[in-house]
Amino acid sequence: MEKQRMPDGGPLRRIVIVGGGTAGWMAAAPLGQLLGGGDHAASCEIVLVESPEIGTVGVGEATLPTIRYYNNSLKLDNAEFIRKTQASFKLGIEFKDWGHLGNRFFHGFGEFGPSILNRSSVSHWLRVHGQAGGMGYEDLSTATVMALRNRFVPPDGDVASAANAYSFAFHFDAGLYAAFLRDYAMARGVKREEGTIVDVSLRPGDGFVTAVTLADGRRIEGDLFIDCSGFRALLIEGVCKAGYHDWSHWLPCDSAQAVPCARVEPLTPYTTSTARSAGWQWRIPLQHRTGNGHVYCSGYTSDEEAGQVLMRNLDGAAQADPRQLRFKTGMRRKAWDRNVVAIGLSSGFLEPLESTSIQLIMDGIGRLIELLPDRRCDAQLAAEYNRRMTRQYESIRDFIVLHYKLTTRDDSEFWRYCAAMPIPDDLTHQIEIFRRSGRVAILDPDSFAEPSWVSLFLGLGLWPERHDPLLAQIDEQVLRGHFAQLRTAIAKTVDAMPDHGAFINRHAKAPAMEMRA
């Protein structure tokens, strides 16, 4: 039998991105910056194909602090970015009615004060909290104190202090962000082809994609194809049959309705997530409007009931009818298969409870650039990409499952299911090690860090039974004095900060625009 000939090597000549939207243009922008337009040896043609007939989902308008690194890598002008995307700042997420009815806690971006004896500040606070004069652990988080007082300035100074012990992200209009990146990418040589893909050509023998054909007959060839076609997963599933890990038994929400409403004052520098009887509702404040949505399980409520819950809990006048979305939580068994790499919703879906959708897009394209293949698209590179994406997806999945599992709510069938459901073994380990010792096990360094896990554990009512014995080296009275000083320093620092809305109006106020759904 004749041995199958290995595909020719050499640098990629053309990368074809299938689908626009946030994922497509977030992929195109850095590829255009690094590879597009030029006569240098590394230049490669980048082509993005999108259809005006196919809408985008765009439910994620809140981000994590790492979005700033993505923007900075593109050398974007921050003020221009904020104005053109109607952005506001985000210091974290406020959670209401999670864990139990009436509960409220904040997942802020940053530490709970400086570490002591190479142990987190909050671990020492846990040891003395009963004698801490009513001080809560959130008093030690600059981001949390800022958020609850609607204050904002960027972190300042190189010496560690309350003025820089926090981080921030953005809320923005995902459609405007995609348009902003489209202009950026096309200015750097990325070509946009408008049309609907009706056929995909495969190479005999190994099944590599060689071209896509549009409805008008145009044929677009490529060496590497990036599938940003959303839930349709046109290439990774429609052609490659990569398969899907269904996680709906751990995350049973399968539906959402989204609607914008009029902006109300004050302009809050945080996202709000409010638990409902069969899911949860988001609130994302932008300069021109407020984004709202209700994520729910259709097995425990009807679409009509879910829509009513959403609409009666808006804090401004609705600007459209709710838009219905369906999804199945999970991820592709292989996000990179042959010469197809899935990024965004085509690679998987995790509900936007912790604003991870854009994070996964950003990390997906970042890892592809790190492991960028030649025309052979070596299977070992694909295996490493899939290993790292799987680890991150699973870690984020478990972090989201934690929100549901650590509940004492029994007011609805949905919450009774969540409290009783079995969970992944890794998450059980993380819960139990914190419960028994106050320690946090980080299984994926590319996912949520220790302060985030602590915010969820304590916010949902999980308190350690014992503490790290090393902590006993410091006198309790000394610790209480330290925390009192830290709380005072944070409060004074926040007192001097401007109002969030006033800061935006002064530095990056967006022009008025016509409201849209």
Give the integer Cα–Cα distance in Å for 169 and 150.
Answer: 15
In tens digits, the chain (517 residues) has pLDDT values of 344 444 567 999 999 999 999 999 999 999 999 997 655 555 799 999 998 866 555 555 899 999 999 999 999 999 999 999 999 999 999 999 999 999 999 999 999 999 999 999 999 999 888 655 568 999 999 999 999 999 999 999 888 899 999 999 999 999 999 999 999 999 999 999 999 999 999 999 999 999 999 999 999 999 999 999 999 999 999 999 999 999 999 999 999 999 999 999 999 999 999 999 999 999 999 999 999 999 999 999 999 999 999 999 999 999 999 999 999 999 999 999 999 999 999 999 999 999 999 999 999 999 999 999 999 999 999 999 999 999 999 999 999 999 999 999 999 999 999 999 999 999 999 999 999 999 999 999 999 999 999 999 999 999 999 989 999 899 999 999 999 999 999 999 999 999 999 999 999 999 987 654 4
Q: Which two tokens stand for residue 431?
A: 């819960």
Concatenated DSSP letters of 77-137: -HHHHHHHTT-EEE-EEEEESSSSTT-EEEEESS-SS--BTTB-HHHHHHHHGGGSTT--G
Residue 303's identity, in one-letter code, is D
| Cβ neighbours for 281, distance < 8 A, ≥ 6 positions apart | 273, 274, 292, 293, 294, 295, 309, 310, 313
Record the tokens describing residue 404, joined without a space: 């549901």
> Is the CB of residue 120 less than 8 Å from the CB of residue 454?
yes
pTM of the model: 0.95
Residue that the structure tokens 């988001």 belong to = 282
What value does the CA radius of gyration of the chain take, rounded to a whole number of Å? 24
Domain with CATH 3.50.50.60 in the chain: 14-86+173-247+329-394
Q: Where in the chain is the domain with CATH 3.30.70?
A: 255-326
Its CATH class, for the domain covering 255-326, is: alpha beta
Spell out where 146-206 has E strands. Answer: 169-171, 191-194, 197-202
Q: Whose structure tokens read 């049959």?
A: 241
Q: Residue 173 to residues 61, 70, 76, 91, 288: CA-CA distances in angstroms? A: 6, 17, 17, 17, 9
Residue 360: closest CA among 241, 444, 431: 444
User: CATH says 14-86+173-247+329-394 is which class?
Assistant: alpha beta
Edge-to-edge strands, sheet with 45-50: 191-194, 45-50, 14-18, 224-227, 340-342, 336-337
